[in-house]
Structures are given as structure tokens and as C-alpha cells.
């Protein structure tokens, strides 16, 4: 499946990702019987890698909300980088492209919570039943 | 006890952030039009014959209450009877329940449809929906024009044109600086085309959704800035710049544009983020129906309006 689960942190600023429905919709794929996941970029992963990757998004959603409550401004990228380094390196610092993209990931997720999600796709109430 | 309106937050601990009432700065732009700013976000309110017309709600329940107090201080004795949503985003239009829960709420029909799906706590559904590019309204003795030239930022973004005062208000589209960050929910394909339609109107003062009030010259510079970033971003492909690397895009596009646009406040901090966002527009081809030549047509009829307005 192309440009969804990709090894490492999220790609840049999650371009054209629909953050609200993304994780619950992706988890529907776990109802199928498969062992290998072929992403649209980089390395093939397995079922556990897929689950771990989605857990990163759930964690980023929580961290983004906490960052807003901590008065972090998502437009102040210098401060977003500092906050990311202080609060996320311990947990995710080993992931591919943490240094390059994690702060952009956090900024994008913060914007999601501040704005409420983007357009029809970002506010859709998805079907989350097994496929 | 009144339940706190929490938007779409799911994490505990939001109360202090949501309840805080920020200091607001109010300026009078004309005999009946005021602008209010929380330090970043900006909006307008208008004195009508027997009431007040408020654009948007500001970003939190606390900010909405502070907004109501600022309106009462500027225009004592007249209630907010009308709220006009500039667009769907919670940080501008999320908390009518705290500003004026009984007000009539006017919005674009697509804005209303997104709000209906979102079901955010505190964001009330519109009671009157507009469609089309241009709506001339008379509200409690105030004449104004609400314009939606097409997708620019967010969904159903309405600009307000006050012909008599020569004032244009457009929220979160062009800014008086370069502080666009990652251009959240901007529709890159058509933004400049539609903003230049608004430029054709006869106005002198531009009120953006963030930062300071500005004028035609900086509006025009904002259009030119976007065009220049779009050109430089396409050139980055031709010159094999690693477009997925923030620092590389910052250096390449920043280097090309600094002489002409480096005086825009926030240029150095933001040009890399702006460039990496826009270069992905060209890499991917735009995002969804908003980023097409004839945007919005398909979705307009495919969803029902939740408010029935």
C-alpha cells in the first residue's frame, strides 16, 4: 500500500495525509491475514512493523495536543525543534529520519488539532469495521 | 456546572489552555467597523443598528469570551446577534457557543458541511448558508458583500468587502509578512488566482486573519511572493535540489528570493517550510478536489447540509 505506513517517522509534514481517519482506517487492514507489508517508499516491513508505525501516529497525536497545552507555537519552528528534541528523542530518536522530520510531523499534527482537520477528508467519520 | 467546549481535543489537561482569556487589542477602522487581535489571529466586528455583527470567534472558549467582552466595551448595549464564519477552522470559528450561543450564524455551504461532519465541541452549526461567489447582504442596517472566489485556505472561505469603507477582510489567505509556516490547509493551485480576483475590488485597507492590518501594496507583494516561491520550487526539480530536505530547500529558494522578498517579516524562519510545502504540490500534483482547475464542483452536491439552513 503506497504512501501510508513507511518505515521511520512520518514523511516531512505528512503531505495530503488525512490525520483524523488515518489510523482507524489503516487498522482495518489488520483484519486481513498477511505477514509482509510493502510500502510505497523504502523497506518492506512485517505486521509488527506496521502496528508500531501506526502507534507512532497515535503518540504524535497525543504529543501535539500536549504541546499546544504547553503553549508551543507550531509556527515557531525553532521552538518546535527544541520541544521535539526534549520530548520525543528518547522515545523515537532511533527511528529513520527522526532528526530530519519529527519536528515537522509534530507541527503538522498541532495544526490538525488547532484547525480541526482539513476539509471533507480530514473530518470524515470513517467505517472502522474489519474488512 | 457548564461543560467546557474542547473542540476536537481528546487529551486530558486542556482546561487551562482553553479557559485562558487572552489580552485583546482593539482598533477602530471606521465609524462602524472594529478589528480585534489576540496577538496573532485577527478578525472584525461591525456595529449594526441595534446589534453587533461579529466575524469568527477567535481560537478558544476563553478567547471567545474575551472577544465578547471587547465587543461590549467598544459597543456597549448592543448584543452580538450575528456571527459570520470566515472559514471552518476551529482556531478562527470554533467557539460560537462561548461568544454568542443564540446568534444567527452565516457561513458558506461547504464550510457548514465540514463543520457538520466535524462535530467539534463548541463549534455551532450555521443557521444560514451561502452559496456562489458573491452574496450581497443587508444585516440590521449594515450592507456588506461576502465573497468566495474559490478554494484558498480551509473550506468555504468567505472574504468580506465593505464597499463604502473600502475595506477587505480575508482570513488566513494572504498575510502582511512571510509567516506562513507549512501553509496549513492552503490550496496552492488556485490561491493567487482567486486572491487577485479580490484585488480587483475597490479597497484601500486589507484586514488579514493574522498579524497587522495592511494595504494594497503588501497584498500585491503577498501574491508576488507566492508566485515567486512556486517558480523557484519548480526550478528546484530542474536543478536536482533534494526537495525532501528542508535545509536544501531553504538554501535554494531562500537564496533565489531573499533579494526581492527578504524584507518580509519572518522570511528567514519560514522560507524553507513554505518551499518544502509548495515543492510537494508540484511533486504530487495538488491535494484533492480543491487543487484542480474547477474546484469544489463535485463535492458541493454530494453532501447534505447538516444544519438544513
Please check whether residue B17 touches A, CB under 8 A: yes
Does the residue A88 lie in any domain? yes
pLDDT tens digits for range B39-64: 999 999 999 999 999 999 999 999 99
Does the residue A57 lie in any domain? yes
How high does pLDDT run on average in chain B? 95
Average pLDDT (B73-78) is 98
Is the model's pLDDT at B300 over the cut of 60? no
- Yes or no: say if B33 and B46 are a contact pair by the CB < 8 Å rule: yes
Average pLDDT (A3-16) is 93
Average pLDDT (A84-97) is 96
| Residues of chain A neighbouring B94 (CB-CB closer than 8 A) | 116
For chain B, what is the HEC assignment? CCCCCCECCCCCCCHHHHHCCCCCEEEECCCCEEEEECCCEEEEEEECCCCEEEECCECCHHHHHHHHHHHHHHCCCCCEEEEECCCCCHHHHCCHHHHCCCCEEEEEHHHHHHHHHHCCECCCCCCEEECCCEEEEEECCEEEEEECCCCCECCCCCEEEECCCCEEEECCCCCCCCCCCCCCCECCCCHHHHHHHHHCCCCCEEEECECCCEEHHHHHHHHHHHHHHHHHHHHHHHCCCCCCCHHHHHHHHHHHHHHHHCCCCCHHHHHHHHHHHHHHHHHHCCCCHHHCCCCCHHHHCCCCCCCCC
Answer yes or no: do B91 and A125 touch at CB < 8 A.
Answer: no
Does the residue A65 lie in any domain? yes
Average pLDDT (B150-167) is 96
Answer yes or no: do A114 and B284 touch at CB < 8 A.
Answer: no
Average pLDDT (A45-71) is 97
Does the residue A3 lie in any domain? no
Enumerate residues 6+ apart whose C-beta is below 8 A from A8: A42, A95, A96, A97, A98, A101
* B291 pLDDT tier (thresholds 50, 70, 90): confident
pLDDT at B62: 98
pLDDT tens digits for range A27-54: 999 999 999 999 998 999 999 999 999 9
Number of H helices, E strands in chain A: 4, 2
Give percent above pLDDT 90 in chain B: 91
The larger pLDDT score, comparing residue B309 to residue A34, is at A34
| Residues of chain A neighbouring B9 (CB-CB closer than 8 A) | 65, 68, 113
Answer yes or no: do A71 and B113 touch at CB < 8 A.
Answer: no
Please check whether residue A2 touches B, CB under 8 A: no
B2 to each of B99, B102, B122, how far by Cα in Å?
14, 16, 12
- Hey, what's the torsion of the CAs at A79, A85, A91, A97, to 10 degrees? 100
Q: How far apart are CA B239 and CA A126, in angstroms?
A: 41
Measured between CA atoms, how close is A126 to chain B, in angstroms?
A: 11
What is the domain count for chain A? 1
pLDDT tens digits for range B131-149: 999 999 999 999 999 999 9
Please check whether residue B61 touches A, CB under 8 A: no
The cell for B285 is: 500534483
In Å, how far from its chain's centre is CA B89? 8
Does the interface ipTM go beyond 0.90?
Answer: yes
Q: Are strands A45-46 and B134-139 parallel, antiparallel or unpaired?
A: unpaired
Does the residue A50 lie in any domain? yes
Does the residue A95 lie in any domain? yes
In Å, how far from its chain's centre is CA B222? 15
**Domain residues for A88?**
19-32+42-118
Is the model's pLDDT at B1 over the cut of 80? no
The helix/strand/coil state of A46 is strand
Cβ atoms within 10 Å, residue A16: 16
Which among A62, A114, A120 is the nearest to B114, CB-wise? A120
Does the residue A11 lie in any domain? no
Task: Count CA within 13 A, CB hemisphere, residue B101.
Answer: 7
Q: How far apart are CA B290 and CA A75, in angstroms?
A: 24
pLDDT tens digits for range B192-219: 999 999 999 999 999 999 999 999 999 9
Is the model's pLDDT at B298 over the cut of 70? no
* B16 pLDDT tier (thresholds 50, 70, 90): very high
Does the residue A64 lie in any domain? yes
Amino acid at each position: 500500500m503506497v504512501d501510508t505506513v513507511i518505515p521511520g517517522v512520518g514523511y516531512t509534514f505528512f503531505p495530503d495525509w488525512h490525520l483524523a481517519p488515518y489510523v482507524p482506517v489503516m487498522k482495518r487492514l489488520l483484519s486481513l491475514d498477511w505477514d509482509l507489508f510493502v510500502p510505497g517508499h523504502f523497506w518492506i516491513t512485517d505486521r509488527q512493523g506496521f502496528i508500531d508505525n501506526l502507534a507512532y501516529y497515535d503518540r504524535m497525536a497525543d504529543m501535539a495536543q500536549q504541546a499546544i497545552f504547553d503553549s508551543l507555537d507550531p509556527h515557531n519552528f525553532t521552538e518546535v525543534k527544541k520541544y521535539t528534541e526534549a520530548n520525543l528523542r528518547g522515545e523515537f530518536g532511533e527511528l529513520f529520519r527522526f532528526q530530519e522530520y519529527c519536528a515537522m510531523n509534530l507541527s503538522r499534527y498541532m495544526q490538525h488539532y488547532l484547525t480541526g482537520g482539513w476539509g471533507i477528508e480530514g473530518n470524515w467519520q470513517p467505517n472502522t469495521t474489519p474488512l | 456546572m457548564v461543560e467546557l467546549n474542547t473542540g476536537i481535543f481528546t487529551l486530558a489537561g486542556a482546561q487551562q489552555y482553553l479557559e485562558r482569556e487572552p489580552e485583546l487589542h482593539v482598533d477602530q477602522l471606521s465609524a462602524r467597523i472594529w478589528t480585534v487581535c489576540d496577538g496573532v489571529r485577527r478578525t472584525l466586528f461591525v456595529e449594526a443598528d441595534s446589534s453587533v455583527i461579529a466575524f469568527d470567534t477567535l481560537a478558544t472558549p476563553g478567547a471567545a469570551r474575551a472577544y465578547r467582552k471587547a465587543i461590549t466595551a467598544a459597543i456597549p448595549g448592543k448584543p452580538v446577534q450575528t456571527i459570520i464564519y470566515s472559514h471552518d477552522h476551529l482556531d478562527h470559528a470554533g467557539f460560537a457557543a462561548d461568544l454568542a450561543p443564540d446568534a444567527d450564524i452565516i457561513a458558506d455551504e461547504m464550510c457548514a458541511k465540514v463543520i457538520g461532519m466535524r462535530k467539534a465541541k463548541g463549534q455551532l452549526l450555521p443557521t444560514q448558508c451561502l452559496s456562489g461567489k458573491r452574496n450581497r447582504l443587508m444585516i440590521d442596517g449594515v450592507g456588506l458583500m461576502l465573497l468566495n472566489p474559490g478554494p484558498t485556505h480551509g473550506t468555504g472561505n468567505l472574504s468580506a468587502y465593505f464597499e463604502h469603507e473600502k475595506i477587505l477582510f480575508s482570513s488566513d489567505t494572504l498575510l502582511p509578512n512571510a509567516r506562513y509556516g507549512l501553509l496549513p490547509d492552503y490550496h496552492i493551485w488556485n490561491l493567487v488566482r482567486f486572491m487577485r480576483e479580490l484585488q480587483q475590488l475597490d479597497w484601500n485597507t486589507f484586514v488579514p486573519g493574522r498579524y497587522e492590518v495592511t494595504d494594497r501594496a503588501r497584498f500585491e507583494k503577498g501574491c508576488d511572493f507566492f508566485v515567486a516561491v512556486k517558480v523557484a520550487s519548480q526550478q528546484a526539480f530542474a536543478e536536482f535540489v533534494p526537495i525532501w530536505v528542508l535545509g536544501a530547500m531553504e538554501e535554494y529558494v531562500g537564496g533565489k528570493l531573499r533579494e526581492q522578498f527578504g524584507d518580509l517579516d519572518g522570511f528567514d524562519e519560514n522560507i524553507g517550510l513554505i518551499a518544502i510545502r509548495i515543492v510537494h504540490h508540484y511533486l504530487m500534483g495538488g491535494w484533492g478536489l480543491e487543487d484542480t482547475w474547477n474546484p469544489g464542483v463535485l463535492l458541493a452536491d454530494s453532501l447534505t447540509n447538516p444544519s438544513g439552513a
